[in-house]
Amino acid sequence: MTVERRPLIAGNWKMNGLAADGLALARALAAAPEGAADLLVCPPATLLAPVASILSGSPVALGAQDCHAREAGAHTGDLSAEMLADAGCAYVIAGHSERRAAHGESDAAVGAKAAAAHRAGLVAIVCVGETAAERDAGEAEAVVAASLLGSLPDSARPGNTVVAYEPVWAIGTGRTPTVDEVAAVHAALRAALGDRGAGMRILYGGSVKPDNAGALLAPCDVDGALVGGASLSAADFLAIAGAA
Ligand code: PGA
């Protein structure tokens, strides 16, 4: 049986965007005609509330880039999934490789964040990806499948979880795996998901640009993209969405 998975094109603005640029970008996306893909933007936390009001009534969804596992408490500087939902988010990224590397987030910590997202009614975008050394050693598929299974809480379902395959060496570098390599990893992730796999969206991320999006999004197990740098340009982001 073939399961329809509508593509999702998600923009991760990372630590970019002051109000002037970020709100203009959000306005441009909110005004764009609806296409074949679902659109999501994940601005920095400072812009969540104003971007939420710009996107309200548009088909573009709002997400955050990280959350704490707890609901509230003495965690200076952190934001709970409930706070993000309260600010208008429908999604939150969990376990982006930049957070895994710079903040020491383990698979278990990522799983706790994804569980927190589910508790708050958010869709968790759970990120996994291999290093260049792991790929060179022929371990990419095994490494990402194990990382995914270690990062998914029991509460993960196709309706509340999106997987993002992001090779660490492809993020922000302009380098990408071949289409065959992407297809092989996505098929391995789909298989690792077992019963949950058929309906769960698996995005590719890492140097997705308008000129490579059509090829990278073509394999049947690729259900969209997580876009960093190119999501800071409305034209580029919408061109990627148009290729989905
Ligand atoms: P990039 O980032 O598109 O700039 O490579 C992707 C990501 O980190 O999600």
pLDDT 10s digits, 210-225: 999 999 999 999 999 9
Which of helix, strand or coil describes residue 243? helix
Average pLDDT over residues 117-121: 98
Please report which confidence band the pLDDT of residue 197 belongs to, taking 50, 70 and 90 as the band edges.
Answer: confident
Q: Return the residue whose CA atom lies nearest to atom 1 of ligand 1.
A: 228
Active site annotation includes 96: yes
Nearest CA to ligand 1 atom 3: 228
Distance CA 34, CA 109 (A): 36
Distance 11 CA to ligand 1 centre (A): 9
State the Cα angle at 69 between 63 and 74, rounded to 5°.
110
* CATH node for 8-230: 3.20.20.70
Q: Over the stretch 19-42, which tens digit does the pLDDT of each residue have?
A: 999 999 999 999 999 999 999 999
Given this model, what pLDDT does residue 1 score? Answer: 47
DSSP letter at 207 equals S
Longest dimension (CA), the chain: 48
What average pLDDT does range 159-187 have in this prediction?
97
Mean pLDDT of 159-185: 97
| pLDDT at res. 2 | 56
Residue with tokens 């509340």: 160
Burial per residue of 183-217, b for 16 or more beta-carbon CB atoms within 10 angstroms, e otherwise: bbbbbbbbebbeeebeebbbbbbbbbbbebbeebb
CB atoms closer than 10 angstroms to residue 143: 17
The mean pLDDT of 161-174, rounded to a whole number, is: 98
Q: What is the pLDDT of residue 85?
A: 98
| Nearest residue to 125 via CA among 71, 97, 162 | 162
209 has a pLDDT exceeding 90 = yes
Predicted pLDDT of residue 70: 98
Q: What percent of the chain has pLDDT over 90?
A: 97
Residue-range domain boundaries for the chain: 8-230
b or e along 225-244 (b: 16 or more beta carbons within 10 Å of the residue's beta carbon)? bbbbbbbbebebbbbbbebb
Is 105 in the active site?
A: no
Q: What is the mean pLDDT of residues 186-192?
A: 97
Distance CA 147, CA 79 (A): 24
Ligand 1 proximity of 8 Cβ (cutoff 6 Å): no
Of the residues 15, 173, 226, which should be mutated to test ligand 1's pocket, given the most ligand atoms within 8 Å of the CB? 226
